[in-house]
Structure 1
Amino acid sequence: MAQSSAQDVFPVIPGDTDYRMFAEDYADIPGLDIIFLLGGYYYHTTFDTVDRIVPGSMQARGENLISVLKAFTSSSKLKVASERKSLDVVANSDMVERAVFFDYLTWFMVYYPRRVAFVLHNIPTVLFLLLPFFLYMMDPRTNPLLSIFWAFLKGVMHHFAGILLGVIFPVLFAVIRLFFAYPMSWFAHSYLAFLMFIPCSFFGFLIPRAISDRVSHFQGVSSKKIMKVEPSDEARFWGAFGFYAFATSAYFFAGLNGGFMTFVICISMLLGWIAFCLSVKSYGYNSIKSPMFYVIALVPYLLYSLYFGGILALLLIEKTGMMGAIPPPYGFYLADVAVAAVIGIVTGLCLGPIIPICDRWLAKSSILKFLLHFTVVMLAVSSEFFPYSKDAPKRVVLQHTFISTGGNEITGSSYDLAVIDANSIEFVFKHAPEVAKELHVGPSFSLGNAEASPQEAWVALFPISCVITKNGRFPAKANNILERYSQFPHLQTHKPQTTFENGTRRVHLELSLGSLEEIWVTVLNITGPLSGWSFADGKPPAPELPPGGPPSYILRLSGNSDEKWNFWLEASSEEEVRVDVAVLDQRLDEETIHLKGLFPKWSDVIAYTSFLSTYFF
């Protein structure tokens, strides 16, 4: 699936990649970020095994990468960082030439430069604005120009109202369902989300037509025809066309890389309108065959919208299991609201172009009642499903934390437990009583009354630590830790600091990782007047800005436990520089292994040991 619009969608999808952080946050390295769209249920879990890989996917990825590398390395536009900075004008011209591209059902690729998109993507808007003048010139006495403009504008507002209600109703029902059910009951059964939210979204699309018909019925409105179809339907059609035309132009002038979806909608609607008008002449306005010809003309687009929208919705559903836990009360609703809204938008993309012509047959009270009743039934049915399974596990983070003063002295030990989706630790304890018993948690446990882990306790997981907000801290023993490790990680100066004439001072440090055995990463969180360091190009990246805390600079190091890191930090004043050291060791003690084994099979526990210590220089 190739989409230029992926560059617009990717930043708003929950998650991040190592490449983006490395290329943007810590360096200026152009490249290509590749992600797998589906399979997010077990991505980065112990269930992510070879047998779950889609056959042929790795081969396809390898072939694509080889082709990309050949194209990059043979391109005359390939430049190093210094050359890119000195050629800003060329870089800006390259931005103008960025292409719009998409594949159609993986059958073939459609590609055209942005300068071509400037013409193509604005043709529908120009056509919509010129059409009232054309209709006025055909019959000035019957069709006043202002009346035509007003009818078209009402058509735009009518369609916009339907699209808006098509999103509002799923969100509303999602919130109502949470009053008597757990969040994310659709997570392990994605079809439930579609069965719940598509009918009520469709219901929302039809509401404006139902209201309009009811008002017209009471007022006895009768209008003249313009093109041998009902004028209200014609205005609705061109209003919907104008809505998508304006969306296409707005998308382009916003500097985004897509817009082809709404452009294809406009082209498909024009073809459908021609087929509809011809069928009206042959079969009559009231014949069901007339809208059938309109729908048939839209079949290629409908197939593509189902393909694109379905994958987008499934991607979001799978990502909700690792999107992070927002603090209550909003976090309780966020996942369901997000999925409901996206399914509403996708339903609008798929069915929106059909509504202007077909809603006359669809906006019947019997159909509306059926959609509403079906939604209510599915809300009730979905509440009986458990959110997780072995194929769609709940992610739990179990950190055995040791706080040391450096060297071999332990001052604190605890189990820090966190979840990264909408169902809190209380949900885990309720459905895993053995875990609650092992942690000495009673049945009256409440996350609001429990001790929470400070945010800095999770720094070893940076940047995943940013999404860990629902957590709890539970006491743990440190009886055998001194027997297993002769020395813990510690940071110390290895030679006197250097003071410069401009008032800056350079602190020379040595980081020892002690006798740890399976180190995954070492993270340094540096706060204070840091102006430089001996890593990379000597300039620290943009600082992290935690709410309520000072700016901090994050440094991630990888290396074996027998290695020592010698480096320097430069401070711009005499104010103390604070360095928090967090070392993540994948080795677990027997008590932690036992605790991890108590979690049910529908959960995936990320367990590790973290050694924390703090220093001032």
Structure 2
Amino acid sequence: MQAAHGFVAHHPWAASVGVAINVEATGSEGPDVMFRETGGWPAEVYVSTAPRPVTTPTIRDLVRFASLPVDTDFSVFRDPTEPHGNLPGIDIASMLGGYTYHTSVDDVDRVKPGMVQAYGENVFEATKAFATKISEISEGISGGDDVSGNESSSSRRIPVGPGTGSALFDVFGAFGVVYGPKNRVLHGVLHAVPLLACLARTTLGAKKDRRSRAARGAKTTIRAWVSAVALPAACGASRALVSGRPLVWFGKPLLTAALFAPPAAAGLLYPYADARRKSRVGVRADAPPLSVADCVDGAALVSSVLAAVVGAAGAAMGYVCALWAFGLVLAGSPWARLRRGSRTAAAATTGFFAFACLLPAAALSAPIAYVTFVLFSEKVGILGSHVWPIGLAVGDAVMGAGVGTAAVLLAGGFAPAISCSGKTARTTARRVALAWALTAVASSIACSPYSARAPKRLAIIHNHDANGVDGDGLLSETAVEFVVGAFDSVPAVNALSPLDRDGVRRATRADDFFGLYPVSNLLGEGVILPSTRARAPPWGTDASAPTLTIARVDRSTAGVSIEVVFNTTAPAWSCARVSGPIVSWSLSRALPGDGARAASASKKKKHRVLWARHAGNGERAAVWRWTMDVATTADVDDVVIDAWALYPGESDELSGIVDGLTPHTSAILGTMYKAKTARGGR
């Protein structure tokens, strides 16, 4: 990202770039998935021209609407605050096979044959198509300046926005389908017709009791979908908390399915069986009976409403909801003709017809469910750690929710059409619960979370703090300690040797990891070990240790400018945190963060906290210099700057800890120096 920023901000080629194709990978196998785009037309062109286009809607919507922290170089290329950012483009990544992602065993031998070839063919065809499209856009713009305000005659840029343009999806990676605002007829048919059909069937000419049954069926569907996600999450969290052993299924897909799929299936199916049982017993004396047809009608109504709402919001999941809605609307028609309790051959015929109606939606949802399941199971290893005991349950709860989501995607439409007696449902539920309990106990006792295929990730940093306070609060010239943090919910101390565990000084605080920002957001749990100063520090002698100084304070009628200089010995990965009433700085045209939130904080007299990173890979980059502006002279006293320099690699001191790590542990190693804090007032 820092290199991308350097390119769009300073490179002479930046003004001539018309579109960005970001080639990413978070795994060594599987198809390359387009999961983010800007400008609308790049996504349309890509799925129309790539030989094997794949776009997984769950990932695209999580990135767009849930704001997942999945920053890539593309985040910079599409940044409208950069002089040559705000580019239309696409973000593509191969996502599967990610257990070893960013570990010491992540090597080229793990790349599946053919993956890079298929990836390259997609990007090559997209590049040619994008070049043609850019030429067409350039020819269609009149005048000397382009509409984005860039005055380069070699580049014709248009203003773009994330998530704009048509909706699209792929069909098993064979071809892409584009629809949406540019094809309003198809968009309206796909998202509105199922809802209109549901409303017509349940209101026009229907008896009041049928409308009531459809409403109860809809409530049952919502309950089934929620419980399909919540039950496996609760079961996983409970197992981890009771046993004290989280993530025993990590790297074991079959065990993952055995622990989470049965609760997900039970949560999806049981509400329908329970609702039909209660309708026979009678919830109220005048309660109408609830049949399979009622459950199907209710599921169709919920899916149709969801398809209309999600489609209107432009979410990628819209077509999945619409396909299930169409299938359920068609499947519900023959069910309505059967009398309640019918056991004739017509019931079997109707069931087969319903299965045929729902099969297309299930088939197109299957790859999405599979990718969702695999991604959740792999990425939980870098989900982040949290303070005990809540941290023990987070990974298992997230995995349970992921499996439940995959179950709803794959079989949510079939569940209301499955008919079984209350006795059968209760017997099956008891057997499933017993099987799950046995699996949970056995795995908690016998299984280790990690293997050569799925190692544990640690961060071990040899930390030197020039502010003169060590971990025990004692004054010293430079406080030195080892900071050990885990990237998942298994405590970091578990990976250390018994001797290192006995030497733990304290648990970590958030600020212990600040030098790794933004990776520090994943390291909420860890331990501090005692250490001596580095015998051969990467910055050289004490005289050449990193220094942070305020070089100059310029006061004028327009405000006060503060010049900051951070000197390091390259190569170093530097980080700075600025706290205070900063109104602008030289590192970017606009200050990071939300403007409204910043204004609110200013009214409450809360100081903004700004972060910046700097990659110093050569002698010219050993000095990091920037300026900050405040409104008045009095504000200078409130400015506080902290800076860290990280030197990656193993040292003699770190090797002692690394040698004692448990098998199948991969550690990110480095030596860190925190310079003495600089304050604007002195």
TM-score bracket, normalised by the shorter chain, equals: 0.7 to 0.9
**Distance in 2 (alpha carbons) for counterparts of 1:342 and 1:176:** 16
> Within 2, Cα distance between the matches of 1:457 and 1:70?
48
Please tell me whether residue 65 in structure 1 is matched to residue 128 in structure 2: no
Per the TM alignment, residue 187 of structure 1 is displaced from its structure 2 partner at its CA by: 1.0
| 1:182 Cα offset (Å) | 0.8
**Which stretch shifts more, 35-44 or 556-565?**
556-565
> Aligned match of 1:345 in 405, 408, 411?
405
Report sequence identity in percent. 20
Distance 2:426 2:126 in 1: 55
What does residue 7 of structure 1 align with? 60
Deviations along 1:272-311, whole A, 9 cap, x unmatched?
Answer: 456778999x993576454244324433332332221121
User: Which of 533, 542, 552 is residue 609 of structure 2 equivalent to?
Assistant: 552
User: Structure 2 matches for 1:95-134, cutoff 5 A?
Assistant: 98-114=165-181, 115=184, 116-134=186-204
Mean alpha-carbon deviation: is it higher for 558-567 or for 196-205? Answer: 558-567
In the alignment, is the contact (CA less than 8 A) between 1:276 and 1:293 conserved in 2?
Answer: no
> 1:207: which partner in 2?
270
Identify the match of residue 210 of structure 2 among 145, 148, 154: 148
- Whole-angstrom CA distance in 2 between matches of 1:325 and 1:110: 40
Counterparts of 1:474 and 1:329, CA distance in 2: 21
Give per-residue Cα distances to partners, 1:534-582, cap 9 Å, x unaligned.
Answer: 3343x43228999x99522212112235333343333333323322111
**Which of 42, 67, 72 is the aligned partner of 2:100?**
42
SS at 1:266 equivalent: helix
d(CA) in 2 for partners of 1:585 and 1:181?
35
Equivalent-residue separation in structure 1 for 2:252 and 2:274 (angstroms)? 35
**Runs of 5+ unmatched residues, structure 2:** 1-53, 151-157, 469-475
Q: 1:584 offset after TM fit, Å?
A: 0.9
Equivalent residue for 2:666? 604
Letter in 1 for 2:95: L
The CA distance in 2 between the partners of 1:293 and 1:424, in whole Å, is 52
Which stretch of structure 1 is more off in the superposition, 299-308 or 210-219? Answer: 210-219
1:85 is displaced (CA, Å) by: 7.4
Moved more, 397-406 or 548-557: 548-557
Distance 1:217 1:256 in 2: 40
**Pick from 414, 417, 441: which aligns with 1:354?**
414
After TM superposition, give the deviation of residue 3 of structure 1 in Å. Answer: 3.6
Distance 1:507 1:483, change over 3 A: closer
Aligned-residue CA RMSD (Å): 3.6
- Residues 276-425 of structure 1: pairs in structure 2 closer than 5 A: 284-285=344-345, 288=348, 290-360=350-420, 363-383=424-444, 384-404=446-466, 411-425=478-492
Describe the superposition over 1:48-87 as per-residue Cα deviations: whole angstroms up to 9, x where unpaired.
Answer: 100111222222333333333334443345799983479x
Q: Of the candidates 240, 243, 246, which is equivalent to residue 180 of structure 1?
A: 243
Q: Name 1:236's counterpart in structure 2.
A: 295
Query: Equivalent residues in 2 for 1:459-538 (5 A)?
Result: 459-478=514-533, 480-481=535-536, 485-486=540-541, 487-494=544-551, 496-502=552-558, 504-514=559-569, 518-519=571-572, 521-537=573-589
Note if contact 1:166-1:348 (Cα within 8 Å) is conserved in structure 2.
yes
Q: Structure 1 stretches of 5 or more lacking a match?
A: 137-143, 442-449
* Cα offset, 1:469, TM superposition: 1.2
8 Å Cα contact 2:98-2:379 kept in structure 1: yes
The offset of 1:167, in angstroms, is: 2.5
- Greater relative contact order structure (CA < 8 Å, 6+ sep): 1
Alignment TM-score, normalising by the size of structure 2: 0.76
Residue 147 of structure 2: aligned partner = 83
The alpha-carbon deviation at position 96 of structure 1 amounts to 9.5
Question: Residue 344 of structure 1: SS of its match in structure 2?
Answer: helix
Give the Cα separation in 2 of the matches to 1:53 and 1:483: 34
Q: CA deviation at 1:97?
A: 6.6
**1:400/1:609 contact within 8 Å kept:** yes
Aligned equivalent of 2:220, options 149, 158, 162: 158
Cα distance change of structure 1 residues 268 and 404 upon mapping to structure 2, 3 Å threshold: same
Q: Is residue 647 of structure 2 the alignment partner of residue 585 of structure 1?
A: yes
CA–CA separation in structure 1 for the residues paired with 2:328 and 2:145 = 46
In 2, Cα distance between equivalents of 1:150 and 1:81: 62
Residue 235 of structure 1 and its aligned partner are, at CA, apart by 1.6
What code does the residue aligned with 1:152 have? A
Q: Is the 1:435–1:599 contact (alpha carbons within 8 Å) kept by the matching residues of 2? A: no
Pairwise CA distance, 1:4: 5.1
Q: Is the 8 A contact 2:217 2:299 kept in 1?
A: yes
Question: Do the aligned partners of residues 479 and 168 (structure 1) sit closer, same or farther apart at CA in structure 2, a change above 3 Å counting?
Answer: closer
Judge conservation of contact 1:5–1:259 (CA < 8 Å) in 2: no
1:171: Cα distance to partner? 2.5
TM-score, normalised by the number of residues in structure 1: 0.84
Deviations 1:422-475 (A, max 9, x none): 11124334xx425435xx24xxxxxxxx52444334233221112211122222
- Alignment CA distance shift 1:420-1:127 (3 Å): same
User: What is the match of residue 4 of structure 2?
Assistant: none
Question: Which residue does the alignment assign to 2:10?
Answer: none
Q: What residue is the counterpart of 2:501 in the other structure?
A: 436
Q: Which position in structure 1 is the counterpart of 2:44?
A: none
- 1:216-227 matches, within 5 Å, as 216-218=279-281
1:444 matched residue in structure 2? none
User: Aligned equivalents of 2:336 and 2:110: distance in 1?
Assistant: 50
Tell me, yes or no, if structure 1 residue 540 matches structure 2 residue 591.
Answer: yes
Equivalent in the alignment of 1:140:
none
**2-side partners of 1:483 and 1:609: how far apart?**
8
Q: Which amino acid aligns with 2:582?
A: L
**What is the identity, as a one-letter code, of the residue corresponding to 1:262?**
C
Question: How far apart are 1:381 and its partner, in Å?
Answer: 2.8
Alignment counterpart, residue 455 of structure 1, candidates 510, 513, 517:
510
Q: What is the aligned length? A: 579
1:501-555 CA distance string (max 9 Å, x none) = 13x22233443213x5x42x11121222323333343x43228999x99522212
Q: Look up the SS of the partner of 1:122 in the other structure.
A: helix
- Counterpart-to-counterpart distance in 2, 1:232 and 1:170: 27
Partner-residue secondary structure (3-state), 1:427: helix
Cα deviation, 1:150-189, whole Å, max 9, x if unaligned, reads: 1211111122222222223223322331212411111121
**Residue aligned with 2:419, SS:** helix
